[in-house]
Amino acid sequence: MDKVVGTQCSICNTRYTLDEVTYTCPKDGGVLDVVLDVEAIKASTQPEDIFSSADQSMWRYLPLLPVNDPGHQGTPLRSVGLTPVYKPPQLAAELGIKDLWLKDESGNPSASFKDRASALLIARAAEIDAEVVVTASTGNAGAALAGMAAAAGAKAVIFAPKTAPPAKIAQLLVYGSEVILVDGNYDDAVALAVAAAEEYGWYCRNTGYNPFTAEGKKTAGFEIWEQVIAANKLEKPLNVFVSVGDGNIISGVHKGFRDLYALGWLKQMPRIFGVQSAGSAAIANAFNLRTEAIEPVSAETLADSISVDMPSDGLRALRAATQTDGAYIIVEDQAILDGIASLGKVGIFSEPAASTAFAGLKKALADGLIAPEEPSLVLLTGSGLKDVKAAMQAAGE
């Protein structure tokens, strides 16, 4: 593929070709970054080519993605991304902030951000002739993979903890994937998915394991650049708030900004703020200790999508904040529920993992991490219909 140089380990910086290593670095287990051929892309594509594209999905950024055109026109696979950005004045006024944008991912085909990675992984699986794609999930990643696989006529197997919300498990089954419920937590499901991939030769979608997942998720960074930074000609760095579990979404968004910066299309990097629940804060703990040594926790939070003992993409997620003058913020579960209610009052129905990012923005303002006059965006990663139980708690009796 002429627009890709290969991959590079996030720990030891060793370079590999795409054919050489499929998943993590064989030397130290580090997560791999896909390295684009920046000069080749600059010679063939300009920002105006992207802005003028008729494609109203993440595939408008195909020149910057490490796959070829996946086909499947007219299917949900081709409707992922280019999600709306809202700027509710009443919420900004309530917070005392000048410029506030909310990017709502609930309009994706499976109603969450995870469709981005799954759409790209299904495209990659077809290119390498993988017959089955497998992943571990608390619900959203599995639903995304199941939905994208169904759209493309591919096979998917999902390992999910038995504690995952029933609505999310039902979604997996409706899409026709094979679902295996695990007596254990998300980390146990991850280990089983990897073991099954090794045993049966399946293509593993696990985040923080397959380097192509972040390549799908980086398209959100591209959209934030196009919809907010470029569209509003922002002169100050944009503050971007992202909820964090295993760390792959925030590292993907960071990768998108890094790719744009390398191309010279993004003049200044946004400040990235990771937000974690107090009950699942392994990366935030490392940030506060000023170390890259991330220690596991015993995760317990109502935000199931970000409930992780040991983040699989923790190092890159940590660097997303440290390398952009951002920070990590810890919020309580009650603040997450309050966030669901606040977002609902401006017409946005978010699941707990999504409202976590909004709770982080409120705390950042209260703690003086950001100033009211600085432009800020909150990434809302999934629909409230994913977890009706939490929505009922937020709404009250």
Report whether pLDDT(366) > 70.
yes
Q: What angle do CA 138, 125, 132 make, to 5 degrees?
A: 60
Report whether pLDDT(117) > 80.
yes
Q: Please state, in angstroms and rounded to a whole number, the distance separating the CA atoms of residues 215 and 393.
A: 35
The pLDDT assigned to 1 comes to 64
Task: Render the burial of 234-243: b for 16+ CB within 10 Å, e for the rest.
Answer: beebbbbbbb
pLDDT class for 105, splitting at 50, 70, 90?
very high
Query: Which residue carries 């990235």 as its tokens?
Result: 272
Kindly state the percentage of the chain with pLDDT values over 70. Answer: 99
The pLDDT assigned to 388 comes to 82
Q: Which two tokens stand for residue 34?
A: 């896909």
Output the pTM of the full model.
0.95
pLDDT class for 285, splitting at 50, 70, 90?
very high
Are 273 and 321 in contact, with CB atoms under 8 Å apart?
yes
pLDDT class for 169, splitting at 50, 70, 90?
confident
DSSP secondary structure letter of residue 30: P
Tell me the average pLDDT of the chain.
95
DSSP secondary structure letter of residue 25: -
The pLDDT assigned to 96 comes to 97
The pLDDT assigned to 245 comes to 95
The pLDDT assigned to 140 comes to 84
Q: Which two tokens stand for residue 282?
A: 């392994």
